[in-house]
Structure 1
Amino acid sequence: MAEAPIVVVPKLEIEGVTFPRGEGLEIGGRFVNFTAIGVYLEEGALRSLAGKWAAAAAEELAGDEHFYRDIVAGPFEKFTRVTMLLPLTGQQYSEKVAENCLAHWKAAGVYTEAEGAAVDKFKEAFKAETFPPGSSILFTHSPSGSLTIAFSSDSSVPEVGNAVIENRALCEAILESIIGEHGVSPATKRSLALRVSELLKEFGGAKEAEVEKPVEASA
């Protein structure tokens, strides 16, 4: 499983890894954060996003749901790391994620038996897992529509995933649940917009320099 080279702007450090705060639950009238989330994009994402978004300021990107949708559905690999701040069981995590995905699909009228089977596989992958603080859940979202799930007890990235689920709707829904319109991590969304805005400007400058570079001709 390859790591993607574009990293979001850091907000929180956990065992040497920095991420924005992510998903949480309201307990006793208080919102408690259970996870910190980092989203990575492969290098080809810049070329894919530049045509539509290179001229937009970071604040524009942060406020435009179409920008995040272009990331979720873009023809490039995405990588998501969900790091635990508090202990959580695999069943607790997978049930909540599955609930969000099913609600979204049913509201959009796109739920089929294939999605139901994919969710069952997703929950099965987490069934025996327990996540202490500092451990991570790693998702690789392939442009082909496959979702690779891996688990790490520290900041390392395993070479091989624990499960691969071939279902585009689920592959996209996992990332959509984080950075989509009703995403669980506004901090991750904002960090992603800021970092991508910076990189798109650098990418645009590099392309301009390439065009302006004189071409030598020999007789």
Structure 2
Amino acid sequence: MESLWKGHNVHGIHFPPAVTSPGSTDSLFLAGAGPRGMNIAGEFILFTAIAIYFHDNAIKILAPKWKGKSETELNKTPDFYRDIYSGNFEKMTRVTMVHALTGPEYSDKVTENCMNAWKAAGVFTQDKAEALDQFKEAFKYQDFPPGGTIFFTHLPASNELTIAFSKDGAIPKKWNAVIKNEALSEAILQSIIGEHGVSRGARKNIALRMSKILGNPDPSAKFNTEL
């Protein structure tokens, strides 16, 4: 299935159409990718490029509700993205650095965003606090040069978030840490493509690609998603 779809380039960083996540043998297809950055003094400054991959069973899970919807309809519907980050299928998030960043710099910002969101929703609990501590510990001694990459694998079947690191973007064979907390696994992806996520580009590209994929689930249907 994955061979029918092309990859995607984000400001010169190429994300292939299919990958195997660290420690896994299952192939995942590219659901979408986009930049994370900010407009500073009228110029867009790119910090990271982010790609999200799905297991093939995402199609049969998402299609009954979302097949036939346009890119615009999907992009404007929060429930579509909620069905992704809480969906019962394997997902992998790949975050590639454009500028050098230390592990604590990255993890501090992510944990702050997760904690603030949970507190605002009134669902911040001790188990979530412990998961955030494990998350920060995983990044404690990491440094990411340009091209350095973080791989998050979201495994709802086991309620786990696995984390792997690469200095050059190559997919490692094993993960560096595993955190057994479903809420954190969902929150990481929600912080990227949720309604207030950090990458509107990735969110929009998922809507574009998935509108095509869900509309053409037949393996014999070939179409170009290099957009």
TM-score with structure 1 length normalisation? 0.85
| Structure 1 position 35 matched with structure 2 position 48 | yes
| Structure 1 position 113 matched with structure 2 position 112 | no
Give the secondary structure class of the aligned counterpart of 2:10.
coil
Give the secondary structure class of the aligned counterpart of 1:182.
coil
Q: Distance in 2 between matches of 1:7 and 1:113?
A: 43
Q: Could you say if the C-alpha distance between residues 80 and 7 of structure 1 is closer, same or farther in structure 2, counting changes exceeding 3 Å?
A: farther
Matching residue's letter, 1:11: V
Conservation of the 8 A alpha-carbon contact between 1:94 and 1:126: yes
Structure 2: runs of 5 or more not aligned: 17-32, 221-227
RMSD: 2.2
Q: Distance in 1 between matches of 2:44 and 2:125?
A: 34
Matching residue's letter, 2:128: E
Q: Which has the larger share of helix?
A: 1
| Structure 1 position 136 matched with structure 2 position 149 | yes
Residue 73 of structure 1 is aligned with which of 78, 86, 94?
86
- Give the corresponding residue for 1:197: 211
Residue 109 of structure 2 is aligned with which of 88, 96, 101?
96
Conservation of the 8 A alpha-carbon contact between 2:48 and 2:98: yes
Matching residue's letter, 1:201: G
Following superposition of structure 1 onto structure 2, how do residues 139-218 of structure 1 map, counting pairs within 5 Å? Answer: 139-144=152-157, 145-203=159-217
Report the CA distance between 1:32 and its aligned residue.
3.0
| Structure 1 position 13 matched with structure 2 position 26 | no
Conservation of the 8 A alpha-carbon contact between 1:121 and 1:165: yes
Give the secondary structure class of the aligned counterpart of 2:89.
coil
Conservation of the 8 A alpha-carbon contact between 1:8 and 1:40: no
**Structure with max Cα Rg:** 1
- Give the corresponding residue for 2:28: none
Q: Could you say if the C-alpha distance between residues 195 and 9 of structure 1 is closer, same or farther in structure 2, counting changes exceeding 3 Å?
A: farther
- Give the corresponding residue for 1:61: 74
Structure 1: runs of 5 or more not aligned: 208-219
Comparing 107-116 and 25-34, the one that deviates more:
25-34
Q: Distance in 1 between matches of 2:46 and 2:119?
A: 27
Q: Which has the larger share of strand?
A: 2
Q: Distance in 2 between matches of 1:35 and 1:9?
A: 15
Q: Which runs of 4 or more aligned residues in structure 1 lie more than 4 Å from their structure 2 counterparts after TM superposition?
A: 4-9, 25-31
Number of matched pairs: 201
Report the CA distance between 1:20 and its aligned residue.
1.8
- Give the corresponding residue for 1:214: none
Q: Distance in 2 between matches of 1:151 and 1:39?
A: 16
Report the CA distance between 1:154 and its aligned residue.
1.7
Percent identity, aligned pairs only, is 49
Report the CA distance between 1:66 and its aligned residue.
0.5
